[in-house]
Amino acid sequence: MSTIVLSNLHKRFGDFTAVRNTNLTVSTGRFVVLLGPSGCGKTTTLRMIAGLELPTSGQIHIDGEDVTALRARQRDIAFVFQMFALYPHMSVRNNLAFPLKNEGVSRREIATRVESAARLLRIETILERKTGGLSGGDRQRVALGRAIVRHPKAFLMDEPLGTLDADFRELMCLELRKLHNALNATTVYVTHDQSEAMAMADDVVVMNQGEVLQSASPHEIYHFPATVFVGNFIGSPPMNFLPIDTGVEAGAEQVWLGGTPVPVPRNEASAAKALLGIRPEHILLDEQGALRGRVIADEYLGSHQVLVVDTSLGMVRVRVGKDEGRVAGSQVGLSFRKERTLLYDAASGKLLPASERQMVVNGNGNGTGGAYV
């Protein structure tokens, strides 16, 4: 078991800075997901951990040992790629055994490890089949098996589910997480898919333009995005950001939106220009609401609806219950759940600190009489 520590990691390709000043600790047994749009530096970071790229500056420690200058094969970690590189003419058993034969593991030990990995991945029944004819999911299981049999210090995975279709991806997410719970091996996983990240990770590391913007639990990432980018990138639909009329002062307990006061949790820092951030499910339809607008789309999604409301401050997305419908064209008032509003510095895009971050909300918003406290 092992801890991975990145310190001031920096990677340039010519003029292009792929990764800048990245600090990250992946503790033993954690499942950490690097998440971001293409080109954000997540794969480069992973390849540096693997030893497939050398950092321009900075250090990588695995289990306290400085491995920055070590070759990939000296690092004892297993890399699982998006395109599963299997030998199509070999049986599943031989595909699994192959990496071990090369390392000179005894035949008995190989047989034991292959059987136990196959059991874990539930591929015992296809061990004698050639990989060429397998389904995408089974091939992906075999690729994972090849990593597992090596008993590496850590697993690195680069969009391993990218080629599978949506339904199957969801299933594999659950399987991967179960596998992790069984093996408890330190895992660093790269994806651009927020639902994969949120479903599997202990910690999500959101990256953009070579920088780590936030590293936290899925819960914290969703409810307290550290920057405007994170709030926009996570959530479907994304968080709403509304321009506040003036700057905000430390100690402020209300802000002005389009000339109307809106109460907020006590703000602890000042900003010359600020944005109010709020998730679509924390905006309420309220005739007395601070903001008015016209519904331009009512997206019925069965369990709930998303209204797109055209307001003087821009488009606002509101998530409402399945029975609280408003048809396109109607005028609505909107108010904000005070304890769920966040303030951001418009210049830096960063979340401003506030008190009252922990709050209690009753019920789960479903039906009446729910009193979850």
Q: Which residues bind other proteins (CB under 8 A)?
A: 194-195, 198-199, 217-219, 222-223, 234-237, 281, 296-297, 299-304, 308, 321-322, 328, 340, 359-361, 363-367, 369-373
The owner of tokens 């050398």 is 54
Smallest gap from Cβ 331 to other proteins, in A, equals 17
What token pair was written down for 185? 């091996």
Give the rounded distance of the alpha carbon of 328 from its chain centre.
33
Give 217 or 348: the residue with its C-beta nearer to other proteins: 217
Smallest gap from Cβ 301 to other proteins, in A, equals 6
Smallest gap from Cβ 40 to other proteins, in A, equals 16
With both helix axes pointing from N to C terminus, report the angle between 92-102 and 136-148 in degrees, rounded to the nearest 10: 30
Smallest gap from Cβ 281 to other proteins, in A, equals 5
Smallest gap from Cβ 86 to other proteins, in A, equals 26
Is residue 354 within 8 A of residue 255, CB to CB? The reply is: no
Give 162 or 247: the residue with its C-beta nearer to other proteins: 162
Give 91 or 195: the residue with its C-beta nearer to other proteins: 195
Give 97 or 354: the residue with its C-beta nearer to other proteins: 354
Residue type, 121: L
Give 152 or 265: the residue with its C-beta nearer to other proteins: 265
Element (H, E) at 170: helix 166-183
Extended strands (E) in the chain: 4-13, 16-26, 31-35, 57-62, 65-66, 77-80, 154-158, 186-191, 203-208, 211-216, 240-243, 254-257, 260-263, 274-278, 283-285, 291-300, 304-311, 314-321, 331-336, 342-345
Give 308 or 343: the residue with its C-beta nearer to other proteins: 308
Smallest gap from Cβ 303 to other proteins, in A, equals 4
